[in-house]
Amino acid sequence: MAKPTAVVDYQICDPKKCSEDGKCPAIKKCKHKALQQEAKGEAPAVFGLCMGCSTCVTACPLKAIRLI
Ligand code: SF4
Ligand code: SF4
């Protein structure tokens, strides 16, 4: 069975609500550097290295990240 992958729900994610500087706090928690932002204030995206560890799911205060 394939490993689960984190996905960001862009209907829910709002960097202004979870950080003062626009940096997604869940990104700092990803040891695999799979979650990245193109710019401060933009919603992050998951790239190919996600290990499905769910650390970012727990770290997102708006519950905008889930594993599928
Ligand atoms: S994924 Fe969660 S923690 Fe990251 S910017 Fe969006 S709402 Fe904030
Ligand atoms: S599930 Fe784990 S590896 Fe994947 S983006 Fe989240 S913290 Fe990173």
| pLDDT (tens digit per residue) in 44-63 | 999 879 999 999 999 999 99
Q: Is the CB of 7 under 6 A from ligand 1?
A: no
Q: Let me know if residue 63 belongs to a domain.
A: yes
Tell the residue nearest (CA) to atom 3 of ligand 1.
60
The domain containing residue 59 runs over which residues?
6-67
Pairing type for strands 35-36 and 6-8 reads unpaired
Q: Which CATH number do you get for residue 24?
A: 3.30.70.20
Q: Let me know if residue 1 belongs to a domain.
A: no
Structure tokens at 55: 């650390």
Q: Is the CB of 27 under 6 A from ligand 2?
A: no
Probe target for ligand 2 pocket from 56, 63, 66, with the most ligand atoms within 8 Å of CB: 56
Structure tokens at 50: 């996600």
| pLDDT (tens digit per residue) in 1-13 | 788 999 999 999 9
Residue 22's pLDDT is what? Answer: 95
Q: Is the CB of 57 under 6 A from ligand 1?
A: no
Residue 67's pLDDT is what? Answer: 97
Q: Kindly write down the DSSP assignment for every residue of 3-26, as one continuous string.
A: PP-EEE-TTT--HHHH-SSS--HH
Residue 56's pLDDT is what? Answer: 98
Q: How many domains does the chain have?
A: 1
